Amino acid sequence: MLALAIHGGAGTIARATLTPAAETQYRAALQAALATGYAVLAGGGPALDAVEAAVRSLEDCPLFNAGRGAVFTHEGHHEMDAALACGHTGRAGAVAGVRQVQNPIRAARLVMDATEHVLLAYPGADELALEHGLPVQPPAYFFTQQRYDQLQEAIAAGRMQLDHAAAPAADPNWKKGTVGAVACDARGHLAAATSTGGMTNKRYARIGDTPIIGAGTWADARCAISCTGHGEYFIRAVAAHDVACLMEYRGLSLAEATRVVVHDKLAPAGGEGGLIAVDALGNLALPFNSEGMYRASRTEQSEEVTAIY
């Protein structure tokens, strides 16, 4: 059964800090990305192409912490991570810290398709993208005033800051997080994709869970997972792969396995966030332990659903 779910980040998303106009913008962006990815599935395309297309749409939208809306590092530039995983082949590709690539998820796909590797980091990942003609952009393309203001606040406070942290009440344009997609295609094949700008004011080339296969992104013949939240906790828990393990070794359903990981394992340890997941029957699960998660989904048997809180 065709199924697609996407997310635009999880965290403290209070109704009081999101104006009706801003909420409309977020919902429209989610709907556009969902439509883009689902069109691939409806046309008989593979799950891998569908998740890449959906994530590219979200990367192009400055509302989310990926691609064009990526947060700033302490040094004042952008270091973006992305990953793709293909369930039926077991192949994966990822990039970390890329600075010029317009769509980091395309660079991750390039690693999967054109190299023998799984994960490439800056500057090599950017060099590969340039060699293969992927679109690149100057720093000004990735600049947004709200992200810059967010950096100044984090520097003044002397902390590294989750993009999913609470927004100042006076700022209705505070942008939220990591983006991702999971899909099941007509052949029952699964795929997952995730992309992020990381954490505001991050230093020392910090890398989160997104490009780490098994932590923030995973796909096999059983399930496909894309995570969002405080990456260090998802890495320690090997969160995405743990869902697959619970399904394989304990025989849990997708819904129960994702509940255990998000609520029983991550939450008690302080791992705020959530994930989106799909199994080979097209069942979806979108659990989160935070105040909200930008999300949308659609299957052959259900109409489009878009939600935030």
Q: Is 292 annotated as a binding residue?
A: no
Question: Please, where are the H alpha helices in 165-210?
Answer: none
Residue 115 three-state SS: coil
How large is the C-alpha radius of gyration of the chain?
A: 17
Q: Is 69 annotated as a binding residue?
A: no
DSSP line for 12-54: ---GGGS-HHHHHHHHHHHHHHHHHHHHHHHTT--HHHHHHHH
If one counts every other C-beta atom within 10 angstroms of the C-beta of residue 146, the result is: 17
Q: Is 228 annotated as a binding residue?
A: yes
Q: What strands, in cross-sheet order, belong to the sheet with 217-219?
A: 217-219, 223-229, 273-279, 284-285
CA distance 174 to 166: 9
Q: Is 209 annotated as a binding residue?
A: yes
Catalytic residues: 178
Q: Is 230 annotated as a binding residue?
A: yes
Q: Is 187 annotated as a binding residue?
A: no
Q: Is 212 annotated as a binding residue?
A: no
Q: Is 207 annotated as a binding residue?
A: yes
Binding-site entries: 206-209, 228-231
Binding-site entries for substrate: 206-209, 228-231
